[in-house]
Amino acid sequence: MSLGEVAFIDRLRLVATDPAARDLDDDAAVIGDLVLTHDMIAEGVHFLSSDPAASVGWKLVAVNLSDLAAKGAEPIAALMGMSLLGDDEWDEKFVGGVAAACETYGIALVGGDTIALPDGAPRVLGLTAIGRGGEHIPARSGGRTGDALWLVGSLGDAAAGLDLLREDEEAEGPLVEAYRRPVPQLAGGRLLAPHANAMMDVSDGLLLDLSRLCAASKCAAEIDLDALPLSRAYVAESGADRRARLRAATGGDDYALLAALPSDFDPLGLSLPRGTILQRIGTLSDGERIKLLDAEGEVPLPEQLGYEHRAQSI
């Protein structure tokens, strides 16, 4: 039987014992004021074979920068791992997307590695991003009972966009853009980090990632489903009822930020960039479980909290 993601990371903890690893409870390592993260994206898992190559390049950079954003870090440099399949046109457009993201967010590509894959193999791409953090680099493990849970960004758009593309690979619009070209919340992360007891990005689904923050912080949480920030495009496509909100809370690929802030601190007073979505969605509490509520009362937790990578059994 194959190992799931959680079990594999548990095994790695026996090796990754340096304090910089933060017990592998974070998506980034911290060495002094340097924040390091590595994310991979794979064809058929994180992007569709029909997705434009330029958007794949953008996404590879953006998902790594989202991890830096969760630590309040300023991007500095990146190293890229590239798999080649002999399609020069695809590769050229992919590099154009990488270049556009690097220029947009001010990160320098300084090296990496390439390998050639056999015909028919799915593309697997990786990036290591390096940033510089401030005096306080929040971990997932710092949350405290009574902390207010705040979300930077909206939920559900990328999952809805993926559904549209699965129905029609020519689909367009803001939901498709959210899936293909995520926007890392770097400015919001830098402003919140000095005040956050805990912070992480939301990439695998709010409820699954919240469960990880709660486990690291040894807290429970109460979440108000009605408070989840949904875009107009998402509501137009999926609605705003309980089912739609649960879908938004579990869909993944959002690259929002989830922050646990002291209850007496109001982040709405920060000078966030115009258009930034910042919403309180709940509270950390005593206990060991996540409790969902809406206007009708308590909501049963869905069986699947988000997306967890699992290898197929042989």
pLDDT at 20: 83
Residues of the chain with pLDDT under 50: 1, 311-314
Please write the tens of the pLDDT for every residue from 174-192. Answer: 999 999 999 999 999 999 9
Please write the tens of the pLDDT for every residue from 223-252. Answer: 999 999 999 999 999 999 999 999 999 999
Q: Please, what is the Cα angle at 275 between 273 and 281, to 5 degrees?
A: 100
The tokens of 3 are what? 């190992």
pLDDT at 45: 85
The tokens of 145 are what? 């009972």
pLDDT at 311: 47
Torsion angle (degrees, nearest 10) of CA 292, 298, 301, 307: -30
3-state secondary structure of 114: strand
pLDDT at 44: 87
The bridge status of strand 34-42 relative to strand 74-84 is: unpaired
How far apart CA 158 and CA 202 sit, in angstroms, is 12
pLDDT at 314: 26
Please write the tens of the pLDDT for every residue from 199-226. Answer: 999 999 999 999 999 999 999 999 999 9
The bridge status of strand 74-84 relative to strand 29-31 is: unpaired
Give DSSP secondary structure letters for 42-110: EBTTTB-TTS-HHHHHHHHHHHHHHHHHTTTPEEEEEEEEEEE-S-HHHHHHHHHHHHHHHHHHT-EEE
Q: Please, what is the Cα angle at 67 between 159 and 224, to 5 degrees?
A: 55
The tokens of 220 are what? 């429970």
Cβ-Cβ contacts under 8 Å for 114 (sequence gap 6 or more): 81, 82, 83, 84
The tokens of 97 are what? 């997307």
pLDDT at 310: 53
Answer whether 186's CB lies under 8 Å from 69's CB: yes
